Amino acid sequence: MQVDAIKLKNNAEPMMVTWDTGRRCNYDCTYCAASRHDNHSAFHSLEEYKQTFNFIKKYVKIYENSKSNPTNHCNINFTGGEPTLNPEFWNLVDYIKQDTKYFNLSLTTNGAWNKKFTKKIKESFFGITVSYHSESHDNLKKLVIENILDLKSTNIWLQVNVMLHVDYFDECVEVYNYLKSKGVKVNPRPIGDGNEQREGWFIDEDGTFRRTSHVYSQSQKDWFFKETGLQRNTSCSSGDEFGRGCCGGRCIQGLVDGEWQNVNMIDTYFKNWYCSVNWYFLHIDQHTGLVYHHQTCQAKFNNKKGSIGCLNNTEDILDQAKNSVINNYNITCPNTRCGCGMCVPKAKDVDVFLELKNNI
C-alpha cells in the first residue's frame, strides 16, 4: 500500500510539549544511553523551570493563534532522566497549576516515585506513562507495581510500557500479564534506539557498557506479535524494527490512490516529505538548554536537523516561530525513519501539504 500523505482524523489536536527536566535518574538501565541519564548532575532550580515555562507559554500561543482549528489546551509531558527525583519538580507543577488551566500535565516516569508524592500526582496530572524496567532493584520494582496499582484506582489516564529486556523476558511477560489481569493498560515495548548498527554491547561516553538495541529470539518475537496483534511479514529481530503505533493514541488517515483511508502500520520513510511537526511538537532539553521542534526527529526548516535555539536566548526562538508562521515556512523531512512524529500531517506533494496545513 503506497501512502502519499498522512493526516489526523481529528485536526484539532493540541500541541505536545515534551520537557526533559534533567538527566538525573535513580536507575541506570543498560539500554539507556549516557546522553539520556546520569546519577550526578545537579538538579535544576525552580527559577530555571519557571523561565522555561514562561517561554513555552509564549511559543505555543504563536502557533495556536495561527491555527484554523485552535485548541483550548496544550499538553506538557515531563520526561528525564527521572523527573520525580528533583524536589523542585513538584514546585514547578504547583506553579503551573496555579498560573493557568491551559496546560494538561502528563508524566513519563520509571514509576519509582516516593509514595508521599502520589497524592500530588493524583491532583495535578491527567496522564502518566510508567516504564517498567526489569534491571532495577527488587524493592524498587515492588514499589513501581504498588504505585501503578494505586493510580489504577483513579481517573488518571495511565499506561504502562513494559520494556522487553531480552535477558529478563520471562519476568517482563509475568509483569505484563499481571498488570493486564488488574485491568491496567499495558504495552510490551521492544528495546531499540533506531540505530541498526548498534545491536550489541558498546562502551558509552561515560565508560559504561551499554546495549541500546536488543535482539530477540524467535519465541520472544512470536510472543510479542501474538500479544500485540501486529502483523509483520518480516524477519526483523531487533527492537528498532518492530515498529509501534502512535504514542499519543491519535487516529490517522493515509492518502492511498487519491482516497483518504484509515491506516495503522505504515512505512515510516518520509524523507523530503513536507511535514507539520512544528505545529504539533516542541521539545525542551533543560539539561543542555537546547530547544527542538521534536525530540527525536529534530527537523528544522530548510531540510536541516538540530536545535532551534537555546533557553538563554528564547527571544530568538520566538522571533523565528513568528516569522515561520507569517512567511509560511515549511519543514521538509531530513530523516530516513520517522518515530513518534509519524501521526502529524505530512505529504509528498506541496499542494496536498498546503491544503492539510490550512486545516490545522
CB of 299 to ligand SF4, least distance (A): 4
Take residue 298 and report the three cell numbers written for it.
529534530
284, β-bridge pairs: 19, 291
Residue 174: closest CA among 136, 137, 132: 132
Among 165, 294, 300, 357, binds ligand SF4 (CB under 6 A): 294
**Mutual orientation of helices 314-326 and 46-64 as an angle, nearest 10°?**
10
Using CB positions, name the residue nearest to ligand SF4: 341
* 211 belongs to the binding site for ligand SF4 (CB under 6 A): no
- How buried is 84 (Cβ within 10 angstroms: 0-12 exposed, 13-18 middle, 19+ buried)? buried
What single-letter amino acid sits at 271? K
Per CB under 6 A, which of residues 101..160 are in contact with ligand SF4?
Answer: 110, 133
* 7 belongs to the binding site for ligand SF4 (CB under 6 A): no
* 227 belongs to the binding site for ligand SF4 (CB under 6 A): no
263, β-bridge pairs: 252
* 25 belongs to the binding site for ligand SF4 (CB under 6 A): yes
* 214 belongs to the binding site for ligand SF4 (CB under 6 A): no
Identify which of residues 102 and 301 has a Cβ nearer to ligand SF4 in the complex: 301
Farthest-apart Cα atoms in the chain, separation: 56
* 338 belongs to the binding site for ligand SF4 (CB under 6 A): yes
Q: What is the distance, to the nearest Å, from the Cα of residue 137 to the centroid of all Cα atoms in its chain?
A: 25
Identify which of residues 228 and 330 has a Cβ nearer to ligand SF4 in the complex: 330
DSSP summary character for residue 42:
P
* 335 belongs to the binding site for ligand SF4 (CB under 6 A): yes
Instruction: Say if residues 271 and 334 touch (Cβ distance below 8 Å).
Output: yes
* 221 belongs to the binding site for ligand SF4 (CB under 6 A): no
Among 62, 158, 299, 317, binds ligand SF4 (CB under 6 A): 299
Per CB under 6 A, which of residues 82..101 are in contact with ligand SF4?
Answer: 82
Calculate ∠ Cα 18-24-28, nearest 5°: 105
Among 11, 27, 245, 329, binds ligand SF4 (CB under 6 A): 27
Residue 135: closest CA among 180, 203, 191, 199: 191
Contact positions toward ligand SF4, by CB under 6 A? 25, 27-29, 32, 36-37, 80-82, 110, 133, 270, 273, 275, 277, 294, 297, 299, 331, 333, 335, 338, 341-342, 344, 346
